[in-house]
Amino acid sequence: MSDIEDRVRKKVVEHLGVEEDKVKENASFIDDLGADSLDTVELVMAFEEEFGIEIPDDAAESIQTFGDAVKFIKENT
Amino acid sequence: MFDLSGKAALVTGASGGIGAAIARALHGRGAVVGLSGTRENPLKALAGELGDRVHVLPCDLSDAGAVTALPKDAAAAMGSVDILVNNAGVTRDNLFLRMSDDEWDGVIAVNLTAAFKLSRGVLRGMMKARWGRIVNVSSVVGATGNPGQGNYAASKAGLVGMGKSLAHEVASRGITVNAIAPGFVATAMTDKLTDDQRGKIDAQVPAGRMGTPEEIAAAAVFLASPEAAYVTGTVLHVNGGLAMV
């Protein structure tokens, strides 16, 4: 398990208050982890801060699952 | 009650009568205030009067680039923006049939679009802080309409609809969005009226007089305060009974 994955998972757990083992590769933030649309915006803000990157709005919209987030961040850090 | 110490407030149109009164009142309750406006000299004079906990942030709200920069500049100067008062407003009155596209666009840009962009610009920090207050200064004419002010009334009604939508979105994050709708308020602008004109205005108002900028500012202090945490998406009419809506 990569360091990036761990850090992303930690942020998701922190923001959505879910169990760590629920945060799987294809877990959808909204459908599986109980996020609302504003939560997903906040998650993206948290990722930006954690990894010191800017996630543009169109990219942010495509980040729907834990796997999407890890993939985007791996490609952009 | 209404203690704002430790909070940072950005007030647009702070060079005008109502804006200056709002800035003074928020400052008086302990807030750090950022004074924004197009005319730098009145802002500096007000800053001098307030002394400490004050920042001058000149901005021309008809300049889209400057509007985008203002929330960042304000946060950089004050550390955060916890309270945003969208007070700046312009009028370019004309009969509907004669109103030019420029007159329409100019008023909408400053009164409504700038408020949208500034609100968007401060939201990120407020969401992180789980605390925020946005106060939009609307107008009684946004609720009643006014001949010759199709553009102005549209912008002021627009602030109400915009604010209510945003209030829905961010209520769960401790952020409230409200509007104040002043009626006739005595400012430098109304000082130019003749006694006869002023008498006619006073006669229309059940309270029998114009309001003062301080009476508008008191409403802003309330809506910005921790005590108003459960008040959101509302319009506080401060008009001496001119329109009971």
The string of DSSP codes covering B69-126 is HHHHHHHHHHS---EEEE---------GGG--HHHHHHHHIIIIIHHHHHHHHHHHHH
Place of tokens 């945060």: A23
Q: B124 CB near a chain A CB, below 8 Å? A: yes
Chain B hits for A41, Cβ within 8 Å: 127
Given pLDDT bands bounded at 50, 70 and 90, which one contains residue B157? Answer: very high
User: CA B209 to CA B202: how far, in whole Å?
Assistant: 5
Q: What is the mean predicted confidence (pLDDT) over B208-224?
A: 97
**Res. B189: pLDDT tops 80:** no
pTM, two decimal places? 0.93
Whether A45 sits inside 8 A of B170 (CB atoms) is no
pLDDT of the residue at A1 = 53
pLDDT single digits (tens) B77-121: 999 999 999 999 999 999 999 999 999 999 999 999 999 999 999
CA-CA distance, B228 to B221, in Å (whole number)?
A: 9
Q: Which residue of B has its CA nearest to A15?
A: B128
Percent of chain B exceeding pLDDT 90 equals 95
ipTM: 0.78
What is the mean predicted confidence (pLDDT) over B157-172?
97
Q: CB contact, 8 Å: B186 with chain A?
A: no
Q: To probe the interface with A, which of B122, B124, B170 has the most A CB atoms within 10 Å?
A: B124
- Which of A21, A32, A36, A68 is an active site residue? A36
Largest interatomic CA distance in chain B: 53
- Phi and psi at B238, nearest 5°, equal -125, 85
Q: List chain A residues with CB under 8 Å of B72.
A: none
Q: Which residue of B126, B130, B169, B170 is the best one to mutate when testing the A interface, meaning the one whose CB has the most A CBs within 10 A?
A: B169
**Nearest residue in B to A49, CA atom:** B128
CA distance A56 to B120: 15
- pLDDT-based confidence at B191, cuts 50/70/90? confident
pLDDT for the residue numbered A77: 86
pLDDT digits (tens, 9 = 90+) for B12-50: 999 999 999 999 999 999 999 999 999 999 999 999 999
